[in-house]
Amino acid sequence: MLELTRRRELIDTALAMNSLGLNQGCSGNLSLRSGDRILITPSALAYDRCRPQDIVKMDLDGSCRGSGKPSSEWPLHLDIYRTRPEAGAILHAHSPFCTTLACMELAIPPFHYMVAVAGGSTIRCADYALYGSRELSVAVQTALQDRSACLMAHHGMVCFGPTLDQALDLAVEVENLARLYVQALQLGTPNLLTDAQMDAVLEKFSDYRGQAG
């Protein structure tokens, strides 16, 4: 029963991702840690046609349980789960403004203090590699060092959180930051916050999360 609930939560979050404008059609993907395995959205199936039994269960060694075909980005998801124990859910989307910056191979610098929401003073852009490849996974791992979100050059964005809701909230915030940064660039070169200013924000965020916990 618990696994069925988790499968439904994945579908509901995927539908929310599309309704919020973070994604279109059957692009992007979502996964959820489930004990020592993961549940991941299937390949090439529109979310509004996805049923709980279509969600694919995988072991962390990459083997599938059942007959479903997982999202082509499953190596990326598994590598994040293997290296980031705090990751409970992963969201990858082709959100418009994140993808705009990613196509220009631009990171999001500290133009706004909320950039710290991803864990650092910047939101990096991972080097380009073919989707679904080991090279892409390695590039994303580098960009996610000490971060919970990054852009993916000529591709989109990826983020993770302890829960699906938190991963979705982070994706919305990162897309909003990308939109604001694109708008700011139209007016000129934004002034950036200093390392000291961002360190102060990160410390304050840490205190806030500690109190919330």
Q: What is the DSSP string of 35-86?
A: TTEEEEPBTT--GGG--GGGSEEEETTS-EESSPPBPTTHHHHHHHHHH-TT
Instruction: Indicate if the pLDDT at residue 1 is higher than 80.
Output: no
Q: What is the CATH number of the domain that holds 31?
A: 3.40.225.10
pLDDT of res. 37: 93
Give residue 133's domain range. Answer: 2-212
pTM of the entire structure?
Answer: 0.94
pLDDT band (50, 70, 90) for residue 28:
very high
Q: Tell me, what's the pLDDT at 209?
A: 60
Instruction: Please give the Cα distance from 194 to 140 (Å, whole number).
Output: 25
Q: How many domains does the chain divide into?
A: 1
Catalytic residues: 73
Q: Does residue 2 have a pLDDT over 90?
A: no
Is 54 a residue whose pLDDT tops 60?
Answer: yes
Q: How many CB atoms lie within 10 A of CB 32?
A: 24
For the stretch 159-210, pLDDT in tens is 999 999 999 999 999 999 999 999 999 999 999 999 999 999 999 998 766 5
List, for residues 164-175, the tens digit of each pLDDT value: 999 999 999 999
